[in-house]
Structure 1
């Protein structure tokens, strides 16, 4: 929508980068305060958060490249072109955990003590970061004219469904042509399309869709022209803030730090949030015919449940 705040020559201050910075500074501020209260030096906490962030960026990129290997195997120079986009949150979580674990092991810190201190603010920071996705016009949802029964299928059939829609109405797969669909719907009230032996109706199912203009040629416009799409970045932002608030309430009590319960709840909360939002996403990574975030979220929920159980019933772990 507005990817940068200002631009001077080749330099531009991007909203997405600013959201990252806000998230890091917020996390540093609160975790340093808690860490010093629990006997950790502020330098140790600063280094740990920076190392975790670097590990998360590396992990997010590796995860994305592996699941998009068909593209990157043909264009290997693009593997390091992180400025062209291509970071996956689940890879970031894995990379951040690995980096934090290695650093904590080196300095004798209990990994779940660190996790319980930082993860409430990571969840809130993820919510802040989703505003950057909105500014970039990325991580967007499917058009709001998509029937719910297509959105909530376990198998991701949306690409095949969308191809059928365009073919049915004789539209080419480009922004200008796709944008005509809304005019057709307004003219006729609703459209119908046959897909996999069933008749589906195309109409505005929710009124809060967001339409992206061609001004900055964002991914959402490239995919669906000016059709209103589900604001998945806002769905996730709101849910992250709500769950983050609950985790911060637990974080305030020092007795909850180090048991692993907060860390487990983070995994459960974000697993559920991302699993839900993924149903609406138009650009998710795939593993075979399944959406990669659904598989990763399921693993997060299982691991998180184990951590919460052990933390609550066995006096903490590790």
Structure 2
């Protein structure tokens, strides 16, 4: 079975006779623009704007967040590509020029998360900002981007799962072919991310965050749980070094285990003052000093 069916009609039996066939893209100035890229760009843009708006809650300014995003985005894209190429090395080793043809498809989300996180850590070191505070902000925004971004897979008719008769199955009907019913794994992950976003948003707004980095650890664990469960259903998984082990499922399991271990460990130790509180206290002290003078 093909892992991408851009020309297939989409249906969901649970919604009755509803069937749609959205175009995969449109033509602009003689070039085809795919909605996959448009939706992905929109997801990134909204995530960055949301992060900038929420930045003060973590002790950062919107300008600092935008500067950080300008560093993270290109490096994260490179990380996504490296992750994919590493897992599909047999496909690229004899055609190295194809490695740079990212417009032909082929990225791995975990590569972007790892590369982006490392970039944030280095940026924070240079700016003398606790990286845990920045990562907390990014994690809660990244999961929002994933809620939206997974719908790019829907438009592309890709990242779906094995054939199934489950009640929420998705039908794909290619011209002149029978309908194939599959797991809508993109939908599973989008809904899981939406639930995670709501929980993190409410949890942070209620002041439950006790130390910098806590929210990011929770995000990593939540996303890891999703990949650990959902990746096994997909038909387009990347495999680890040519083995039968699904790379993202393995990374997801490790992420979940490490995150839980860190949360338990950190619950039993004292932490320095959160960056946002330190900034507030320093600002209050400056106001008091200025008033006294």
TM-score, normalising length from structure 2? 0.77
- Alpha-carbon distance in structure 1 between the residues aligned to 2:113 and 2:147: 14
Q: Hey, what does 1:291 align to over in structure 2?
A: 246
Any residues of structure 2 matched to 1:98-177 within 5 Å, and which?
98-144=118-164
- Alpha-carbon distance in structure 2 between the residues aligned to 1:251 and 1:11: 44
1:64–1:87 contact (8 Å) kept in structure 2: yes
Any residues of structure 2 matched to 1:25-104 within 5 Å, and which?
25-36=45-56, 38-104=58-124
- Determine if the alignment matches structure 1 residue 313 to structure 2 residue 273: no
- Alpha-carbon distance in structure 2 between the residues aligned to 1:214 and 1:11: 25
Superposed displacement of residue 131, structure 1: 0.4
- Alpha-carbon distance in structure 1 between the residues aligned to 2:34 and 2:110: 23
1:267 to 220, 226, 243: 220
- Determine if the alignment matches structure 1 residue 243 to structure 2 residue 196: yes
Pair 1:254–1:14, CA change in 2 (3 A): farther
Q: Hey, what does 1:277 align to over in structure 2?
A: 230
Q: Hey, what does 1:19 align to over in structure 2?
A: 39
2:47–2:141 contact (8 Å) kept in structure 1: yes
For residue 201 of structure 2, give the secondary structure of its aligned residue in structure 1.
Answer: helix
Residue by residue, what CA displacement relative to the aligned partner does 1:11-69 show, whole Å, maximum 9, x if unpaired?
34432222223322322223223323555332221011232222221111101101101
For residue 212 of structure 1, give the secondary structure of its aligned residue in structure 2.
Answer: strand
- Alpha-carbon distance in structure 2 between the residues aligned to 1:234 and 1:295: 21
Q: Hey, what does 2:255 align to over in structure 1?
A: 300
Residue by residue, what CA displacement relative to the aligned partner does 1:259-299 show, whole Å, maximum 9, x if unpaired?
32211111111111111111210010111121111210122
For residue 211 of structure 1, give the secondary structure of its aligned residue in structure 2.
Answer: strand
Pair 1:296–1:65, CA change in 2 (3 A): same
2:48–2:141 contact (8 Å) kept in structure 1: no
TM-score, normalising length from structure 1? 0.72
Structure 2 residue runs of 5 or longer lacking an equivalent are 1-5, 7-21, 275-293
For residue 267 of structure 1, give the secondary structure of its aligned residue in structure 2.
Answer: helix
Residue by residue, what CA displacement relative to the aligned partner does 1:54-99 show, whole Å, maximum 9, x if unpaired?
2221111101101101010122111000011110111111111111
Pair 1:113–1:311, CA change in 2 (3 A): farther
2:189–2:230 contact (8 Å) kept in structure 1: yes
Runs of 4+ in 1 over 6 A off after TM superposition: none
Structure 1 residue runs of 5 or longer lacking an equivalent are 145-204, 216-220
Q: Which moved more, 1:292-301 or 1:7-16?
A: 7-16
1:127–1:240 contact (8 Å) kept in structure 2: yes
Superposed displacement of residue 214, structure 1: 3.7
